[in-house]
Homo-oligomer: A and B are copies of this chain.
Amino acid sequence: MVSKPDKPAPIGEDVSLARAAASKTQTRIQREKTEAILTAALDVFSTYGFRGSTIDQIAKQAGLSKPNLLYYFDSKEAIHSLLLERLLETWLEPLKKLDPAADDPVAEIIAYVHRKLEMACDYPRESRLFANEILQGAPRIMDQITGPLKDLVDEKAAVIEGWAEQGKIAPVHPYHLIFSIWATTQHYADFDTQVSAILGERSETCFEDACDHLTTMFTKLLRP
């Protein structure tokens, strides 16, 4: 019943959750259910994308009825938005940790690669959710891309360029280095289906092999 009365000034921007964050004091049930919904939604959205996913699907997976789910979130889009919002925080973290003052820049970048690969393998659904959104032209997070993400990349690219100029790492195109790191690591999450199918039994050592391979590759690329 709070849905409509709660939006007296629908300027259009605040299309977020209903009860979930509306009140500061969440009940136990609210916490449990919203979390269950978000988990289920992550599963579904990351597989089928926004348009290909249905509320029924999410509700079913969360063990709720559709109206019950819509009691916690105002709309399908609200769930998706919250998911993306949360995602971007954790998404930027590995790159944020890249220390401009590191003693050994090569090791520092390799450490970043490892963080990224670990994230891709530990949170493949998050990676796929992001991939799906970008594939569709990033309609719902374009401002996050051109804003915080771009700023962070610009900053770190400058750091990398600085290292290259000082001769601490081999000369590289910093942006394309970052793209290569993203591409190679996220590949193991986004294209897991393909990777597993091709590796067959070799899949068991996939993570270790990938880690070795990427370490070698980027070390050779960056060593001055």
Contact = CB atoms under 8 A, between A and B. Distances in A.
Nearest to A188: B179
A21 interface: no
Interface residues of A, number: 53
A88 interface: no
Given A48-B52, A179-B191, 20 more contacts: A47-B136, A49-B49, A49-B52, A51-B53, A131-B190, A135-B190, A138-B194, A145-B193, A145-B194, A149-B197, A150-B198, A175-B202, A179-B184, A179-B188, A179-B210, A180-B214, A180-B217, A182-B191, A183-B183, A217-B217
Interface of A: 47-53, 128, 131-132, 134-138, 142, 145-146, 149-150, 153, 172-173, 175-177, 179-180, 182-184, 186-188, 190-191, 193-195, 197-200, 202, 209-210, 212-214, 216-217, 220-221
